[in-house]
């Protein structure tokens, strides 16, 4: 009998992490929500240039990897398939992540649009990661 970590599909988790990171690149670009996100956060290109991008991207990748591992643990059953992975990802994003963000954003008095952009990204991200992890058996 192995541990929860020994039976994980690490390739699926790595690919799910990379897919989530790529989705974030598009989501927060000017193609989708980048301009609105920068406006509601008060960021601009000058502030972005001054930021420690290695810390931001490295930290974001590690945290996304941890999220994919956690989702992988929930989906670590031979009966899990693509459809169940998508449903579990949606339940995770809609049922846990978006409400948790919402509570924090309410107390911090952040704009609703900022909550929507960030929470929706994580809902879609968990759906994508769940689909990848669920399908990769």
Report if residue 4 sits inside a domain: no
Report if residue 78 sits inside a domain: yes
Q: Find the mean pLDDT for residues 97-102.
A: 98
**Secondary structure (3-state) at 79:** coil
pTM of the predicted model, to two decimals?
A: 0.93
Report if residue 22 sits inside a domain: yes
Q: Is the pLDDT at 66 greater than 60, yes or no?
A: yes
Report if residue 124 sits inside a domain: yes
Domain range for 128 is 10-135
When pLDDT is cut at 50, 70 and 90, the band that residue 102 belongs to is very high
When pLDDT is cut at 50, 70 and 90, the band that residue 49 belongs to is confident
pLDDT of residue 5: 85
Q: How many domains does the structure of the chain reveal?
A: 1
Q: Which of 93, 116, 108 is nearest to 37 (CA)?
A: 116
Report if residue 1 sits inside a domain: no
């Amino acid at each position: 009998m192995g541990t929860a970590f020994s039976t994980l599909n690490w390739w699926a988790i790595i690919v799910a992490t990379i897919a989530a990171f790529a989705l974030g690149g598009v989501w927060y670009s000017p193609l989708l929500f980048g301009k609105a996100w920068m406006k509601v956060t008060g960021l601009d290109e000058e502030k972005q240039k001054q930021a420690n991008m290695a810390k931001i991207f490295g930290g974001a990748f590690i945290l996304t990897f941890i999220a994919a591992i956690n989702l992988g643990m929930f989906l670590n059953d031979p009966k899990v398939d693509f459809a169940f992975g998508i449903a579990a990802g949606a339940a995770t994003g809609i049922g846990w992540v978006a409400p948790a963000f919402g509570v924090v954003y309410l107390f911090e008095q952040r704009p609703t649009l900022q909550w929507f952009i960030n929470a929706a990204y994580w809902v879609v991200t968990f759906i994508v990661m769940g689909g990848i992890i669920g399908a990769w058996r």
